[in-house]
Amino acid sequence: MPVVGVGIDVVDIERFGESLERTPGLGDRLFTAAEARLRLASLAARFAAKEALAKALGAPAGLAWHDAQIVSEESGRPRFELRGTVRASADAQGVRHVHVSLSHDAGIASAVVVLES
């Protein structure tokens, strides 16, 4: 399985929280209803993951934030559910496997995404 793309992103959790408070509707634009119920550090990590995914895909125009959702498997392991614009971009690039790792500590949230064909 060759690597199609790799992306990484980091988010300052406090600054991200301030952005959510300052900009009405931002959370609704970035997160699905299921994601929006999570605490701030988890939201920041999910935002980092969506940014990392976009980078791994080559940052194509027109990706919708709701078309990439992080869900947790029963084990707690995060994984992406792709649909719509994001699924179309991934399919066009031959992506068959999406690996994601999330972390948050010391006020920073981070994510790494690896795409494989």
What residue type is 49 in one-letter code? A
pLDDT tens series, the chain, 117 aa:
799 999 999 999 999 999 999 998 999 999 999 999 999 999 999 999 999 999 999 998 999 999 999 999 999 999 999 999 999 999 999 999 999 999 999 999 999 999 999
The neighbouring-strand residues paired with 99 are: 114
- Residue 5 CA to residue 2 CA, distance in Å, equals 9
pTM for this model (two decimals): 0.95
For the chain, the domains span: 3-116
Of 42, 65, 36, 56, nearest in space to 99 by CA = 56
Second-level CATH architecture of 3-116: Alpha-Beta Complex (3.90)
Mutual angle of helices 13-22 and 40-56, in 10-degree steps: 100
Of 94, 98, 93, nearest in space to 82 by CA = 98
